[in-house]
Amino acid sequence: MKIGIAGGGAFGTALGVALALDGNDILLWARNADAVATMSKDRSNARLPGVVLPENMVFSAELEPLFVCDIILLATPAQTLRAFLTEHASHLNGKYLVACCKGIDLTRMTGPASTIRDLVPDAVPAMLTGPSFAADIARGLPTALTLACADDEAGAILQTALSTTSMRLYRSTDTTGAELGGALKNVMAIASGIAIGAGYGESARAALITRGFPEMQRLAQDFGAQAETLAGLSGFGDLVLTCTSEQSRNYGFGLALGRSEDFDPTTTVEGAATAQAVRQLAADRGIDMPICNVVADLTDGSLTVAAALNALLSRPLKEE
């Protein structure tokens, strides 16, 4: 099967490198023609310093080559996925479409796999998610991810096609759990970054991770997700990674908030938009999600870091 990737950022490029080094011919589409020219000529991507792009990766700023691929990895930001699918739905019907972004669409409050299913009903929607950094994948470091597809037979096909010697995929049919685990952990990563950036210490971060995980479970299970999915790679595994490493964009954004520093506005921070969506979903469904609510208030500027800490510490005492 021919594999294409939509999105020339760090993660999409890293996936392409891993798959190409395993012997697959990869087509990567990027919107920016200058970036495509640089990748083609210099065999490098500025977002992956030191990584040489394999010769069996080809690059295009035109969409036609992408549309002939059987499997398309959608490595676009979560908030632009809907527009991409809407514009090109007729060309994507019948394809295996694998979302590689983590977030909740603010337009319809849906995760990436659900967005694919809604907009391209004749495609096979799937999610590739879990604890991973682009730099690690591109360098061939061992990585384990979840490949979630409601159609288990199709999931097995994708698992075989997309697994590599360094990138091990575990199959699941719980796309709801996979997409919500991947989205919600970004909110907790922002909270963890704020705690460290504000000087509250490692113990505070540990408490946020520990109490944040049940919040993730409550919302995901209310949508029908399986508990074991949230306890796996796409939930707890990804939560631990992104809450403890400065390679995480969401954690880095939280660090900057906690330190009252500016953050690069060109860097995609999915957790900020997800926090806004979660605040609304939690209110609509009557689910208690205090950490997510505080992060939403912090990211929209309606709450200070000091007030956020006070809000969390002044909650009623209760059993664990």
CB-based contacts of 106, cutoff 8 Å, min separation 6: 79, 273, 276, 277
Residues marked as catalytic: 185
Q: At which of 173, 201, 217 does a domain end?
A: 173
pLDDT digits (tens, 9 = 90+) for 272-287: 999 999 999 999 999 9
Using the CB atoms, write b or e for 245-272: b if 16+ within 10 Å.
Answer: eeebbbbbbbbbbbbeeebeeeebbbbb
- 318 occurs within a structural domain: no
pLDDT digits (tens, 9 = 90+) for 106-132: 888 999 999 999 999 999 999 999 999
In a shared domain, residues 230 and 296 = yes
- 101 occurs within a structural domain: yes
In a shared domain, residues 191 and 280 = yes
Q: How many domains does the chain have?
A: 2
In a shared domain, residues 182 and 70 = no
- pLDDT band (50, 70, 90) for residue 269: very high
In a shared domain, residues 60 and 82 = yes
- 52 occurs within a structural domain: yes
Q: What is the mean pLDDT of the chain?
A: 95
In a shared domain, residues 192 and 291 = yes
Give the mean pLDDT of 263-268. 90
Contact 313, 294 (CB under 8 A): no
pLDDT at 271: 95
In a shared domain, residues 80 and 199 = no
In a shared domain, residues 219 and 159 = no
Give the mean pLDDT of 72-91. 96
pLDDT at 320: 72
Contact 78, 273 (CB under 8 A): yes
Q: How many CB atoms lie within 10 A of CB 72?
A: 23
CATH (domain of 157): 3.40.50.720
Contact 120, 93 (CB under 8 A): yes
pLDDT at 316: 72
Tell me which residue range forms the domain holding 181.
177-313
pLDDT digits (tens, 9 = 90+) for 169-226: 999 999 999 999 999 999 999 999 999 999 999 999 999 999 999 999 999 999 999 9
In a shared domain, residues 30 and 108 = yes
In a shared domain, residues 156 and 224 = no
pLDDT digits (tens, 9 = 90+) for 10-60: 999 999 999 999 999 999 999 999 999 999 999 999 999 999 999 999 999
| 317: pLDDT strictly greater than 70 | no
